Amino acid sequence: MNGPPAVELVDLRKSFGDLVVLDGLTMRVATGGVHALLGQNGAGKTTTVRILATLTRPDSGSARVAGHDVVRERRRVRRTISLAGQHAALDDGQTGAENLTMLARLSGLSGPAARDRAGTLLERFDLTDAAGRRVVTYSGGMRRRLDLAASLVGTPSVIFLDEPTTGLDLRSRQGLWEVIGELAGAGVTVLLTTQYLEEADQLADRITVLHHGGLAAEGTAAELKSRFGAQRLELAWRDAAGFAEAERRLGDRLTHRDPARLALSVATDGSGPQVRSLLDEVDPDRHGVVRFNVREATLDDVFLTLTGQPVTPEREVANV
């Protein structure tokens, strides 16, 4: 990492009653680019973002954004950051232009400057044609774009996006991906929480995986796939008896099992000799396997290896 980090957490801890949400989390986010924060429901993603945005105080440990302590220097942190949460924070009764102009005025701009800033953002986020419409008439994708525009009324150096594309259709998600890429290209540091692994794969320069409130792994998507994913040999079985026997033989080497489809998968280096050896091991009489496939690792495989569970795009438990 070159230069000071945009975000730095050291031994961060946070509990809600008996529920431990963050358990000694330490991580650094480089300045510039997109950094994705992944984790299963309740892993602590939203709590991490809320602490960094000065909305929640940690129990212990330290957190700094752009060099400022989130507890002792809250005002400086808030002047540096912007936050787009899981739900768009907009006034449905106002138009898109009115929402942005109001926020620009609240940030200290004069009337003419606020209107100019609103117009610039509406154009940047492809909302000019809808500028005069009340937000209640906007589609989900339009609302998320307006919410992102609102988060850039100021000039933040760090922006937190907490599951910004949840609930959007694929086309709207891809549109927001383009916008997020443009933000990073303009020099803004983007910390993105998401449960869509494809999103992290497409957008993130680096990825951090949280598990049980701590750091499970971090690196680029390619590094994580290489270290934790390996390739997968996927096997489909003729009958339940063969499936059960193969499951017994492979034991904890299994990376995935689907009894309904009589399908198993196991890690492999992808070489012919190892694939042949695995097939001979699990199907020595060559009558049980009806088909097999070798594929490259995905972030889903990485996540499954690190946490023992697949990611599902659901709301986080108690917003933690």
pLDDT at 310: 55
pLDDT at 129: 94
Ramachandran bin of 60, using left for φ above 0, alpha for ψ from -120 to 50, beta for the remaining angles: beta
Predicted TM-score (pTM) of the model is 0.76
pLDDT at 312: 53
Q: How many whole angstroms separate alpha carbon 116 and alpha carbon 104?
A: 9
Phi and psi of 201, rounded to 5°?
Answer: -65, -40
Contact by Cβ (8 Å): 51, 83: no
* Alpha-carbon distances, residue 279 vs 235, 248, 267 (angstroms): 9, 14, 13
* CATH class of the domain at 227-307: alpha beta
pLDDT at 3: 63
Phi and psi of 112, rounded to 5°?
Answer: -60, -40
Within this chain, domains 7-219 and 227-307 share the same CATH topology: no
pLDDT in tens, 291-301: 999 988 888 87
What does the domain layout of the chain look like in residue ranges?
7-219, 227-307
Give the β-pairing of 189-193 and 33-39. parallel
pLDDT at 22: 95
Positions of the chain with pLDDT under 70: 1-3, 86-88, 229, 308-320
| CATH tag for 7-219 (out of 2.40.30.10, 1.10.3720.10, 3.40.50.1000, 3.40.50.300) | 3.40.50.300
Q: How many whole angstroms separate alpha carbon 287 and alpha carbon 284?
A: 8
The residues, any chain, with a CB within 8 Å of residue 143's CB and separated by 6 or more, are: 88, 90, 135
Contact by Cβ (8 Å): 97, 132: yes
**How many other CB atoms are there within 10 angstroms of residue 104's CB atom?**
22
Tracing tokens 């309904």 back to the chain, one arrives at 260
Q: How many whole angstroms separate alpha carbon 42 and alpha carbon 233?
A: 31
Contact by Cβ (8 Å): 37, 199: no
pLDDT at 204: 94
Tracing tokens 């787009």 back to the chain, one arrives at 84
Hey, what amino acid is at 63? A
Q: For residue 238, how far is the Cα from the chain centroid?
A: 38
Tokens of 207: 């990825």
Report how far apart the first and last C-alpha atoms of the chain are (Å, whole number): 28
* Alpha-carbon distances, residue 12 vs 49, 74, 156, 190, 291 (angstroms): 12, 17, 24, 20, 48
Tokens of 99: 């929402």
pLDDT at 1: 52
Closest CA to 62 of 26, 10, 23: 10
Tokens of 220: 């680029």
Tracing tokens 């957008």 back to the chain, one arrives at 203
